[in-house]
Copies of this chain bind each other. A is one copy, B any other.
């Protein structure tokens, strides 16, 4: 699956998509990016994914134009979604909805809201208050009724992504917070990236 075109069916967009995002870990990495994770080490600790695999996946996703990699002001490396990557949100949403429906009897584990008016989103991403199809940067994600606080992880990254937040907004880890202005500038960039090239 690492090499190009391992599914024979050249005439199926499902097979094509799975060549990109169908490998183990890939969609979880992408979910984390939606939730604001951007740094190699944060993916590694939050997902407990072997670093070698993480390296491969990130490289591949960058090569495929799903993520972009660049050095931030502090010299660190950041991975962010391209418009193509943002286009995967319906895929993530569909899988989450299915998992919620069949494996989370007490309700959804995460709810989506329209950040502008607080309305809940339905399965298609439409705001139940204003009726609009809400673009990804305006989606606010938060723990839902099925979220289990007792067994949630306690590393800073997990805590951050389990806090209500807008998609794509970078998480602020202790160090990043202390670096003056870093958090806010990052957030602005995230919004730009997701909005304009789409």
**Residue ranges of A at the interface with B (Cβ–Cβ < 8 Å):** 1, 7-18, 21-24, 27-28, 31, 47-48, 84, 87-88, 90-104, 108-110, 123-124, 146-148, 151-153, 162
Contact = CB atoms under 8 A, between A and B. Distances in A.
Contacts of A162: 11
Contacts of A47: 8-9
Contact of A9 (B28, B101, B123, B146): B28
12 contacts: A8-B47, A11-B109, A11-B148, A12-B31, A14-B99, A16-B99, A17-B96, A18-B27, A18-B95, A91-B91, A91-B98, A124-B124
A96 B31 contact: no
B14 A28 contact: yes
* Complex copy number for this chain: 2
A116 B8 CA distance: 33
Contacts of A9: 28, 47, 153
B28 A96 contact: no
A95 B94 CA distance: 9
Contact of A94 (B31, B48, B84, B90): B90
A13 B84 contact: no
Given A13-B104, A17-B103, A90-B123, 9 more contacts: A11-B148, A11-B151, A12-B99, A13-B96, A14-B95, A17-B96, A17-B99, A87-B102, A94-B94
A110 B12 CA distance: 8
Given A11-B151, A27-B22, A102-B84, A94 B93 contact: yes
A21 B146 CA distance: 21
Contact of A48 (B8, B91, B146): B8
